[in-house]
Amino acid sequence: MVGSTGAICAAHLRKEFSQAGGQTVVALNDVNLEIQPGEFVSLIGPSGCGKSTFLRLLAGLETPNEGVLSLDDEVITGASYERGLVFQDPTLFPWLSIWDNITFGLKIRNVYSGKKKEVVALIKLVGLEGFEKSYPHQLSGGMAQRAALARALVNHPKVLLLDEPFGALDAFTRMNMQDELLRIWQERGTTMIMVTHDVDEAIYLSDRILVMSARPAQIKSVIDVQIGRPRARDLPDFLQMRAKILQILDYVGERADVQYYL
């Protein structure tokens, strides 16, 4: 299912940060892109190049120094439940049950009443049935990240922003969570934008991959992943796509900062 909302547009985006001593660091410089509703897009590039800064701008946690960033033709001016954000660390409240963690946003917005059936369905969607009364310390890393996904999705965001959401997981759990994320994306049709250092992960999940340069970040290459789904990591078209991306990363001096599985 492809959503009808969740279109992102960035025009001449620039973001600067001031440091001690009056120095200015330019994180993003003249970033321009359009993301279609329901699209899955990955950002890949070296550490510290501005990928996470771009996500924070989309989330409304930072404001650009120049340029315009919009969602469905409305300029982003602050945080909103329409843009969910999932970090590498699940950042669950340790004193709340999984149910209360997931429903926390609904309660803050005073829209929890009458949502129980929807929450039950979402918990089933992310594979946490039977763990509603558990606490974060009782869950594995993968299960905690499922809860973080559910907490972001319960608000029906137009866009889900993912900042290396599986980076702290072991390889097998990570691949399993990639499949779960794809299943949720296909069922929900939510626009998803993910930061990753893993080339295979980007190919496996994405419709398009944006390769970013070293800071100040610009989009150096846009790669359409024209491989059918489901995707097998050992097939020739997948391996050819990996080789192409690694060649681009070598060209812009970024290959040392990315990962891939042999």
Q: Are 142 and 176 in contact (CB under 8 A)?
A: yes
Within 10 A of 109 (CB to CB), how many other CB atoms are there? 10
pLDDT in tens, 172-228: 889 999 999 999 999 999 999 999 989 999 999 999 999 988 877 889 899 999 999
Instruction: For the chain, list the domains and their CATH numbers.
Output: 1-82+158-262 (3.40.50.300), 88-156 (no CATH)
Q: Which helix (H) or strand (E) holds 122?
A: helix 116-125
Q: Hunting for tokens 């660390």 — which residue is that? A: 89
Pairing of strands 66-71, 74-75: antiparallel
Collapse the DSSP code of 171 into the 3-class scheme (helix H, G, I; strand E, B; otherwise coil) and give the result: helix
| Per-residue pLDDT at 252 exceeds 60 | no
DSSP symbols for 172-187 = HHHHHHHHHHHHHHHH
Residues in the chain: 262
Sequence-ordered list of residues with C-beta below 8 angstroms from that of 66, at least 6 positions apart, any chain: 12, 13, 14
Q: Give residue 253's pLDDT band: very low, low, confident or very high (50, 70, 90).
A: low
DSSP symbols for 46-102 = -TTSSHHHHHHHHHTSS--SEEEEEETTEE--S--TTEEEE-SS----TTS-HHHHH
pLDDT in tens, 62-116: 999 999 999 999 999 999 999 999 988 888 999 999 999 999 999 998 999 888 9
pLDDT of residue 262: 35
pLDDT of residue 256: 46
pLDDT in tens, 121-140: 999 999 999 999 999 999 99
Q: Which helix (H) or strand (E) holds 160?
A: strand 159-163
Sequence-ordered list of residues with C-beta below 8 angstroms from that of 122, at least 6 positions apart, any chain: 102, 150, 153, 154
Tell me: cis bond preceding 216? Omega within 30 of 0 counts: yes
pLDDT in tens, 41-75: 999 988 778 888 999 999 999 999 999 999 999 99
Collapse the DSSP code of 207 into the 3-class scheme (helix H, G, I; strand E, B; otherwise coil) and give the result: coil
Q: Give residue 258's pLDDT band: very low, low, confident or very high (50, 70, 90).
A: low
Average pLDDT over residues 5-12: 95
